[in-house]
Structure 1
Amino acid sequence: MKILIAFLFSISLSAQTKMLDVKIDSITTNDSNPKKRAFTINYHIENLTENEISFFLRPNTLIANAASSLTLYPIYRIYQNSSFIALDGPFYEREGNDEWNKYVEMTDKKTPEAKELLQKIMDEHEAQKNTIIDDYKKNGGKNTDELWIIKNHNQWRAKITLQPKEIKSFQIKTSWDKERYILQDDLEYYLDEKDKFEIELTLHLIKTHFKERLSPEEFTQIEKDKNFIEGIFTSNKVEINFN
């Protein structure tokens, strides 16, 4: 309990000092697919301090507030007529290249084209995995657990560094299947086209809770680094089109 309180206090303190500013700049839509509405969310993060700061974040996808737990993704909250709705959706995290997204959207995955594309994706994934493991060993890595090596690589790939007063822009692409009625456990939601909807993003930046993905030396390094930050930083609310 004491550890939890200390963690929450440090998160609260980080947020109060306002190290970062997160702002949604624009949201555009595309209805070229009659079954889905594509959304592009453009936002930026600004370092408000006079110091270089770093944090872990995968900035180009998102996850619902209801589903988030120790996540590297920006967390989104949807407001319906100014009231927050605890909805796991209507967007879902999608992290992959264009080929994978193309495969996911294929209706019939038994066609020769789909099978060929899947095999290509699997071959590329295997080659990438082998490269990551080989590089780790060449750089003196001692861990022999290949799964841990991949997790370690992905963790450090999520590191973002901002110079003093620097602003970095990011883009999230997602989609809505145009379903208005949503049943979630014993809760029901209806995205009424007459209502006003808004979205906000929250960065729940954490570092020491990823200890199992880091070597002891790496963990000690970021734990002691005061410029490797954690905290909760919330964006502005912006109207989003579910009409």
Structure 2
Amino acid sequence: MRKLYYLLFFISCSVSAQIELKIDHISFLDSIPTERKFTINYHIENLTDKEVSFFLYTKTLTPNLRASQSKTIIYKIYEETDLLDIEDVFNNKKREAFIKKLEEAKTQKEKDSLLSIFFKKEMNMDYQAMINKDEKEQLKHEKDLVLNSIISLKPKEKILYTKTLNWDKTRYYKILDNEYYINEDKLHFIELSINLDKVGYNYNLESEEFEKITSQMNFVQGTFTSKKMEINFKE
């Protein structure tokens, strides 16, 4: 029994030591009185002596509240040791204003115009080209997204990322029956995590192609979490 325990412990440690997700530095700038721009520098590193691969969409950071089965990098905000499970601390008022404009749009042309601006600015995607694709083109687009999400790291290789997030200095949030307030007198921290898995990526690929890709590459699976780093929500 003891041998089995040590074997399971060794396997667990080996898996967790494959990938490191780490926040390197956070800076901020109050460009205008009502907005603070955070620049977050972080990296993903292969800690092993062999090449590893995994599926991950790296263009966006997703708040924990919307992170169920997320294939992106997830962030959590803490006040001291308490999790502030807020849907979106960043770009809150801008998103609310966008949704309101979308709801008030009287024609489909107005809606398409708003969506085109949003997709271009927030996701660097061409909305019109996306909706004009026929079924065959759409399937190819979804397949390309999956193939482009494959990240391979050579032994000890590190990939650096920089993400800019805007906080409009909103402090009070209400989500259903839960109320949150970002207290300027307390310390706050941000934590990043990734859930690496192969489930869900096979839907957009032929089964033979998916099996060939995942069997030939050393695919990493598991959850990896960074250490918390202080983020400044003080005035």
Q: TM-score range by the shorter chain?
A: 0.7 to 0.9
2:157 pairs, out of 152, 166, 182, with 166
Q: 2:79, 2:187 within 8 Å by CA — same for their partners in 1? A: yes
What whole-Å deviation, never above 9, does each CA across 1:29-55 have from its counterpart, x for those lacking one? 121133321111100111011111111
Residue 72 in 1 paired to residue 63 in 2?
no
Q: Tell me the number of residue pairs that the alignment of Structure 1 and Structure 2 aligns.
A: 210
What whole-Å deviation, never above 9, does each CA across 1:150-195 have from its counterpart, x for those lacking one? 1111111222111001111011111112110000111000001001
Q: 2:53, 2:217 within 8 Å by CA — same for their partners in 1? A: no
CA distance in structure 2 between the aligned counterparts of 1:225 and 1:40, rounded to whole angstroms: 37
Question: 1:50 corresponds to which residue?
Answer: 49
CA distance in structure 1 between the aligned counterparts of 2:64 and 2:88, rounded to whole angstroms: 9
1:200 pairs, out of 186, 191, 215, with 191
Q: Report the TM-score when normalising by structure 1.
A: 0.72
CA distance in structure 2 between the aligned counterparts of 1:123 and 1:40, rounded to whole angstroms: 22
CA distance in structure 1 between the aligned counterparts of 2:66 and 2:24, rounded to whole angstroms: 25
Question: 1:209 corresponds to which residue?
Answer: 200
What whole-Å deviation, never above 9, does each CA across 1:16-69 have from its counterpart, x for those lacking one? 441001110011112113332111110011101111111112223201111112
Detail structure 1 runs of 4+ shifted over 3 Å in the superposition: 12-17, 121-130
Question: Aligned Cα RMSD in Å?
Answer: 3.6
Distance 1:216 1:230, change over 3 A: same
Distance 1:161 1:123, change over 3 A: closer
Percent sequence identity is: 36
Question: 2:176 corresponds to which residue?
Answer: 185
The structure richer in strand per residue is 2
Report the Cα offset of residue 13 of structure 1: 4.4
Question: 1:237 corresponds to which residue?
Answer: 228
What whole-Å deviation, never above 9, does each CA across 1:187-218 have from its counterpart, x for those lacking one? 00000100110011001112232221222222
Report the Cα offset of residue 86 of structure 1: 2.3
CA distance in structure 1 between the aligned counterparts of 2:156 and 2:211, rounded to whole angstroms: 27
Q: 1:64, 1:91 within 8 Å by CA — same for their partners in 2? A: no
Question: 2:30 corresponds to which residue?
Answer: 31
- Secondary structure of 1:195 counterpart: coil
Q: Following superposition of structure 1 onto structure 2, how do residues 47-126 of structure 1 map, counting pairs within 5 Å?
A: 47-91=46-90
Report the Cα offset of residue 146 of structure 1: 2.5
Q: 2:16, 2:222 within 8 Å by CA — same for their partners in 1? A: no
Report the Cα offset of residue 129 of structure 1: 8.9
What whole-Å deviation, never above 9, does each CA across 1:86-138 have from its counterpart, x for those lacking one? 22221369xxxxxxx9xx7xx9xx9xxxx6xx58x6995556899x99xxxxx
Q: Report the TM-score when normalising by structure 2.
A: 0.75
Report the Cα offset of residue 238 of structure 1: 0.3
Q: Which runs of 5+ in 1 are unaligned?
A: 1-8, 94-100, 134-143
Distance 1:125 1:85, change over 3 A: closer
Query: Which stretch shifts more, 164-173 or 147-156?
Result: 147-156
